[in-house]
Structure 1
Amino acid sequence: MIRNLQQRRHFILSASIGLVVGLCAPTAFAQAAAKAGTAGRPSVILVLGDSLSAEYGLARGTGWVALLEKQLAQDKLTATVVNASVSGETTSGGRSRLAALLAQHKPSHVVIELGGNDALRGLPLKNTEENLTWMTQTAQKAGAKVLLVGMQVPPNYGTDYANKFAGLFTSVAQAHKAAVVPFFLKGVADGPDPTRLFQPDRIHPRAEAHPQMLANVWPELKKLLR
């Protein structure tokens, strides 16, 4: 009688454990599957920029973002590129659009190429820094890795302003552990004859300059894609 009672208790305990395991297993399996699905999802690169990324004055397909797609194919990296750049965009404009873009495209990587128009319009450096910080943090909270693409202004803006503006991008990136390209137009605007690589307005690079612009961005972006 005692043995039967013990057996019955053992049976009930085993059945209870089995029921708990059975109920938990699908949840654990679903979580593992979801994690595997996220890990295996192709990368989506969202480029949030201004006219330098929107192919202003260029034939379609000749700007650095279009060249980026070819670079990805060449390096056999699976990724979709979404170019959400708008000519004339400021950091404030990018900030107002970013949340909707993140919700729509769910990017794994966000390239922020904004700030040049802030300087052209003489906007306060503090506003530019705050907007870059907000966009970086918002993209990171959405699960994206961020690359800030920096810009510099000519000396006629004043040495103090020029130095502070150029340093904004690196300081924001370091503060929030994002990647950074210090000067987007390195090798384009700082050459012996920079006007040769610019359109007549002397603001927008010609198509011949865009491979160099991609060369400035690609090493840092490739590290993030790994």
Structure 2
Amino acid sequence: MKIQRSVILLATFLILLSCTSSKKEENKSEVTEESSQTLKPKKLILFFGNSLTAGYGIELEEAFPGLTAQRIDSLGLEYRVINAGLSGETTASGLSRLEWFLEEEPAIFVLELGANDGLRGITPDETKKNLKGIVQLVKSKYPSTRILLAGMQIPPNMGQEFAGAFRAVFPEVAQEENVTLIPFLLEGVAGDPDLNLPDGIHPTEAGHKIVFETIWPYLEREMEK
């Protein structure tokens, strides 16, 4: 009789243990599923440019890529920003270092290069060739990446003809490569001493706020796709 009671107690214990283990596995599965959803990586917006992108002379978070990140966070959008700006960058040097930044697929690639080419007198044809090379490299590696090309203008120091040819490079590249053009990155900022540092080239914090407002509608449209 004692043996029979012991068998019954043991069986009951094993049943309860089995139910508890199943419940734990079920809870563990739910937690794992929730965690995987929580840890889902955000889509990348990559800003690739020169000192304008890098925020020369001001704090990094006050440059237009940093302001973009702040707006995205405030809206709770599933995107994050990497600022790949480098002071002094030309289209040629940008093309040579681009591979380093394409280890991860960007959902949106913002190309802001060319100003240093113009200021250094590099021919517009060379600038155009390099910009196309950058766009084509991104497309070849990540065909679904949406590309924004920031248009640029330079003062007529090197002659009206050169300045005009330089300005035309950006819409030509945008049309030929079928990417979205931001007509002029420094719209409302260039030439205004109140919005630029003493060098007359790089925007102040106030200037970067205007640049951000210029590019945001283009970014917003791309993020909604």
Range class of TM-score, shorter chain: 0.7 to 0.9
Which shows bigger deviation, 135-144 or 62-71? 135-144
Q: CA deviation at 1:57?
A: 0.6
Aligned equivalent of 2:52? 52
Report the 3-state secondary structure (helix = DSSP H, G, I; strand = E; otherwise coil) of the residue aligned with 2:200.
coil
Question: Which amino acid in 2 is paired with 1:188?
Answer: V
Report the 3-state secondary structure (helix = DSSP H, G, I; strand = E; otherwise coil) of the residue aligned with 2:44.
strand
Deviations 1:45-77 (A, max 9, x none): 111110011111102311111000011123332
Aligned equivalent of 2:74? 74
Report the 3-state secondary structure (helix = DSSP H, G, I; strand = E; otherwise coil) of the residue aligned with 1:45.
strand
Aligned equivalent of 1:203? 201
Alignment of 1:129-168 (within 5 A): 129-143=128-142, 144-168=145-169
- 1:115 is aligned to 2:114: yes
TM-score by length of 2: 0.77
Native 8 Å contact 2:44 2:81 kept in 1: yes
Which ranges of structure 2 fall in alignment gaps of 5 or more residues?
1-39
CA distance in 2, matches of 1:167, 1:223: 24
CA distance in 1, matches of 2:81, 2:60: 15
Deviations 1:155-211 (A, max 9, x none): 233222111111111110111110111111101115xxx111111111111111111
Native 8 Å contact 1:45 1:81 kept in 2: yes
Aligned equivalent of 1:170? 171
Root-mean-square deviation (CA), in Å?
1.6
Native 8 Å contact 2:45 2:106 kept in 1: yes
Aligned equivalent of 2:43? 43
CA distance in 2, matches of 1:106, 1:113: 18
Identity of aligned residues (%): 37
TM-score by length of 1: 0.77
Question: Which amino acid in 1 is paired with 2:110?
Answer: V
Aligned equivalent of 1:64? 64
Native 8 Å contact 1:166 1:182 kept in 2: no
Give the paired residue count.
184
Native 8 Å contact 1:139 1:145 kept in 2: no
Native 8 Å contact 2:147 2:179 kept in 1: yes
Alignment of 1:4-19 (within 5 A): none
* Dislocated runs of 4+, deviation >3 Å: none
Question: Which amino acid in 2 is paired with 1:154?
Answer: P
Native 8 Å contact 2:197 2:203 kept in 1: yes
Alignment of 1:181-192 (within 5 A): 181-189=182-190
CA distance in 2, matches of 1:218, 1:200: 26
Native 8 Å contact 2:189 2:210 kept in 1: yes
Report the 3-state secondary structure (helix = DSSP H, G, I; strand = E; otherwise coil) of the residue aligned with 2:45.
strand
Deviations 1:201-225 (A, max 9, x none): 1111111111110111111122112
Deviations 1:54-101 (A, max 9, x none): 111102311111000011123332111111110000001110111221
Aligned equivalent of 2:105? 106
Native 8 Å contact 2:68 2:212 kept in 1: yes
CA distance in 1, matches of 2:223, 2:49: 19
Q: CA deviation at 1:41?
A: 6.0
